A = this chain, B = another copy of it.
Amino acid sequence: MAPKRRIETMEENRAKLISAARKAFAEKGFAAASMDELTADVGLTRGALYHSFGDKKGLLAAVVAQIDGEMAGRAQEAGAAKGDWEGLLAEGAAYIAMALDPEVQRIVLLDGPAFLGDPSQWPSQNVCLEVTKQAVARLVSEGTLAPVDVEAAARLLNGAALNAALWVAASEEPQSVLPKAVEAFQLMATGLLAKRS
């Protein structure tokens, strides 16, 4: 066996813990997830956890940052191929669709705000919100959108998408409700468009 480098195994263990935490937090919720179980599942103890993440919330923050990054990547992908305005709509739709994932919903949308506070002040900076803000800023400066406060518009759009997603996820037939949510979202977003002079 090649001699295990120290930093190497540490990063492996960090990744293992984050991975196990994603599962446990998504299934049981942050509050009900046991750190003993979590760590035992990957052959470690709480000692590793507290050494790497400081405390339980530190682990949550790491998990949230990881998922948030993945979400922002997907949202950008969805919006990149299209024009600015269509891109924003596509980002919103993608955001709604992603929130159907239990990990996203439970960890990022529910437990994240409850235990880590306002998303805009997370260590991970809430990359998703940042992406939306940039899109809105472009659209405002090019005159497509009315001269609205950029942060306000971005937070409203994200908030609306988030809530739509929670609704879809809680419904009995997500697949039939999803298009309604997307349609209403996109309709509402048109309210931000600049009026034709």
Q: Are B183 and A187 in contact (CB under 8 A)?
A: no
Q: Does A164 contact B (CB under 8 A)?
A: yes
Q: Does A191 contact B (CB under 8 A)?
A: yes
Residues of chain B within 8 A of A166, CB atoms compared = 113, 118, 159
Q: Are B159 and A163 in contact (CB under 8 A)?
A: yes
Q: Are B162 and A163 in contact (CB under 8 A)?
A: yes
Contact of A113 with B115 at beta-carbon distance under 8 Å, contacts A159-B163, A183-B152, A184-B153 already known: no
Q: Are A114 and B114 in contact (CB under 8 A)?
A: yes
Min C-beta distance of A136 to chain B, whole Å: 10
Min C-beta distance of A16 to chain B, whole Å: 26
Whole-angstrom CA separation of A181 from B149 in the bound complex: 8
Residues of chain B within 8 A of A181, CB atoms compared = 152, 155-156
Q: Does A189 contact B (CB under 8 A)?
A: yes
Whole-angstrom CA separation of A132 from B189 in the bound complex: 19
Q: Which of B121, B153, B177 contacts A188, CB < 8 Å? A: B153
Q: Does A31 contact B (CB under 8 A)?
A: yes
**Interface residue tally for chain A (C-beta within 8 Å):** 45
Whole-angstrom CA separation of A159 from B155 in the bound complex: 10
Whole-angstrom CA separation of A152 from B166 in the bound complex: 11
Whole-angstrom CA separation of A189 from B153 in the bound complex: 12
Whole-angstrom CA separation of A190 from B29 in the bound complex: 37
Residues of chain B within 8 A of A151, CB atoms compared = 167
Q: Are B164 and A152 in contact (CB under 8 A)?
A: yes
Q: Are B188 and A189 in contact (CB under 8 A)?
A: yes
Q: Are B148 and A158 in contact (CB under 8 A)?
A: no
Q: Does A42 contact B (CB under 8 A)?
A: no
Q: Supply 7 A–B pairs (Cβ within 8 Å), ascending by A.
A: A31-B115, A155-B167, A156-B160, A156-B163, A156-B185, A160-B188, A162-B163
* Pairs A-B, 8 closest by C-beta atoms: A159-B163, A191-B191, A118-B170, A152-B184, A114-B114, A190-B191, A160-B160, A149-B180
